[in-house]
Amino acid sequence: MLVGLVGAPNKGKSTLFSAFTFADAQIADYAFTTIKPNLGVAYMGRRCPDAGLGIKCNPRNSACINGIRQIPVNIIDVAGLVPGAHLGKGMGNQFLNDLIGADALIQVVDASGRTDVNGNKSEFSDPAIEVQMVQDEIAQWLTDIISKHMPKLSKRTDGDAALCELLSGMRASGQQIKEAADRSYLSLSAISWDRDATKRFATELLRINKPLVVAANKMDQAGANALENLRGRLGPVQVFGCCAAIELALSRAAKKGIIEYAPGSADFAIIKEVGAEQSKALEYMRDYIQKHGGTGVGRLLEEIAFSSMGKVVVYPVEDEAHYTDHSGNVLPDSILMDRGSTAYDLAARIHSDIAKGMKYAVDARTKMRLQKNHLLKDGDIIKIVSVK
C-alpha cells in the first residue's frame, strides 16, 4: 500500500512525512522545499491480538507498543502543486508523474489560512480553495493523458481494456473504469469523448482509484471554528485536524530520552530534566494533545486504510498451536489485505509458489480447516498449508 502526500507548497507535507516515518525530510517555510520525492515507511496503530490470546508477540515487520501493533505503510511525499501544474507550472509534471502509483492520497492544507494557494505567506487564505485546486489539477493531468490517446481509443470496441492498458501505471482495474464511465454516463465502445466528458470520467476514476482524505494541518495556529468551517465547505470529503509539527517534536523528544511518548497518545511523561524554555514548549504541546485527544497524525492513515480503502489486517503464522513462524517469532508479521480477500490471496501475497501449492488454510484461533476461498476478516491469524 502506497499513500501519497499531496498539496500546495508550504502546507507542512514534509513535516507530516517526517512525523509519519521518523525520517529527516527537508523542511522549510518556503515553497518547493521538496524537489525529489521523499519515500519512506510509516506506521499506523491497530490493537494487537496477542493480549486476547494470553501471549506476547515479537513482530518482525513492525513494533508493538503498549499492545498497539504498528502496521507498516509506504509513504511518498511529492513536490507542491500550484495552479496550472498540469501545464507544467511549478514542479507540476514531475509531481504528477511521481504520484501515479499511489493507492490513496492525503491532501495537506494549512488550516490556519496563513499560506496561500501558491505557498506564500498570507493572513486569510481559504484552505477549501486549495483542496479544489489540487483535485482539479490531478484530474486535468489525467484528462490530458487520456485525450492524447483518444485517436487510438476510438478504434477499440473494448474501451475498458484499452484504458486499463493506457492507465496501467495507476493500476486502474476494468471494474473501476466501468464504474467511472457509468457515473459519467459515458460509453466505453469506440471512445471519442470531448474534453469536458473526459474530465468528468477522470474525476470519477480518481475518486474510485485514489481515495482521498484532507489533513487540516497546523491546527494549533487555526481559529476555533476552522475545522468545522472547512468540513462544511468540502461536504462529503473526509477532513481531519492534525498538527504534524507537534507530533514530530514529541517523537524527537522521545527519541532523545527527554519524554516517554507513544505515537498518537494524548499525553506524555517528562523523564529528563529540561530547561525553562523546553519546559514551556512541552507544556504547550501537552495542552494541545490533551485538548484534541492527540496530534491527529496517526488517525489519517487509519482512516485511509480502514475506512476509505476497506483494508483488513491479517497475521500469517506457520505454527498454529503457538502462533509462530519457523523461527519461533510470535505473530511475526501484520499484513494489510483488501476487504474481500481470500486465504488464497494471502498465500499469493506471501509467495507465488506457496499459492501454487496451497492445499488449504487453518484458522489459528479455532484450529479449523479453511478452504482457499475463505474470506479473511480483520485480525485473522492464518496458517497456509502448501506443498511448496
Domain membership flag for residue 165: no
pLDDT digits (tens, 9 = 90+) for 248-284: 999 999 999 999 998 888 999 999 999 999 999 999 9
Q: Are residues 242 and 316 in the same domain?
A: no
pLDDT at 92: 47
Q: What percent of the chain has pLDDT over 70?
A: 93
Q: What percent of the chain has pLDDT over 90?
A: 71
CATH of the domain at 208: 3.40.50.300
Residue range 78-92: mean pLDDT, rounded: 68
pLDDT at 96: 67
> Who's near 70: CB < 8 A, 6+ residues apart?
43, 44, 45, 62, 63, 64, 263
Report how far residue 112's alpha carbon sits from residue 34's, in angstroms, rounded to the nearest whole number: 21
What three-state secondary structure class fits 74? strand
Place of cell 532523545: 256
Q: Are residues 120 and 209 in the same domain?
A: yes
Residue pair 79/34 in contact by the 8 Å Cβ criterion: yes
pLDDT band at 93 (very low <50, low <70, confident <90, very high): low
Looking at the structure of the chain, the number of domains it has is: 2
Residue range 364-385: mean pLDDT, rounded: 97
Q: Are residues 335 and 376 in the same domain?
A: yes
pLDDT at 117: 85
Domain membership flag for residue 48: no
pLDDT of 360 over the 50 cut: yes
Burial of 352 (0-12, 13-18, 19+ CB in 10 A): exposed
Residue 271: HSE in the Cβ half-sphere, 13 Å Cα cutoff: 12
359-388: b (≥16 Cβ within 10 Å) or e: eebbbbeeeeebebebebeebbbbbbbbee
Domain membership flag for residue 171: no
224-252: b (≥16 Cβ within 10 Å) or e: eebbebbbeebeebebbbbbbbbbbbbbe
Burial of 151 (0-12, 13-18, 19+ CB in 10 A): exposed
Residue pair 384/319 in contact by the 8 Å Cβ criterion: no
CB atoms within 10 A of CB 302: 18
Place of cell 491497530: 46
Q: Are residues 357 and 290 in the same domain?
A: no
**Structural domain ending residue among the three candidates 255, 282, 309:** 309
Domain membership flag for residue 182: no
Report how far residue 263's alpha carbon sits from residue 207's, in angstroms, rounded to the nearest whole number: 30
pLDDT of 97 over the 70 cut: yes
Of 213, 234, 231, 209, nearest in space to 222 by CA = 231
Q: Are residues 19 and 91 in the same domain?
A: yes
Of 74, 63, 42, 59, nearest in space to 315 by CA = 59
pLDDT at 101: 85
Domain membership flag for residue 71: no
Burial of 189 (0-12, 13-18, 19+ CB in 10 A): exposed
Range of the domain at 6: 1-37+78-149+200-309
Residue pair 77/41 in contact by the 8 Å Cβ criterion: no
Q: Are residues 322 and 292 in the same domain?
A: no
Among 27-31, 167-171, 332-336, where is mean pLDDT lowest? 27-31
pLDDT at 142: 92
Domain membership flag for residue 64: no
CATH of the domain at 322: 3.10.20.30
Q: Are residues 315 and 305 in the same domain?
A: no
Q: Are residues 242 and 364 in the same domain?
A: no
pLDDT at 25: 39
Residue range 4-16: mean pLDDT, rounded: 90
Domain membership flag for residue 157: no
**Alpha-carbon Rg for the chain in angstroms:** 23
pLDDT band at 358 (very low <50, low <70, confident <90, very high): very high
pLDDT at 23: 53
pLDDT digits (tens, 9 = 90+) for 288-302: 999 999 999 989 999
pLDDT digits (tens, 9 = 90+) for 35-84: 466 889 988 888 999 989 999 999 987 788 888 888 889 999 887 777 77
Residue range 341-352: mean pLDDT, rounded: 96
Residue range 89-96: mean pLDDT, rounded: 57
Domain membership flag for residue 31: yes
**Structural domain ending residue among the three candidates 309, 332, 366:** 309
**Structural domain ending residue among the three candidates 278, 309, 340:** 309
Mean pLDDT of the chain: 90
Q: Are residues 256 and 210 in the same domain?
A: yes
Q: What's phi and psi for 206, nearest 5 deg?
A: -65, -40
Q: Are residues 280 and 337 in the same domain?
A: no
pLDDT digits (tens, 9 = 90+) for 235-247: 889 999 999 999 9
The three grid cell numbers given for residue 70, joined into one nine-digit string: 504498528
Residue range 102-123: mean pLDDT, rounded: 90
Q: Are residues 318 and 275 in the same domain?
A: no
Burial of 137 (0-12, 13-18, 19+ CB in 10 A): buried
pLDDT of 29 over the 60 cut: no
pLDDT at 33: 44
pLDDT digits (tens, 9 = 90+) for 166-209: 999 898 999 999 999 999 999 999 999 999 999 999 999 999 99
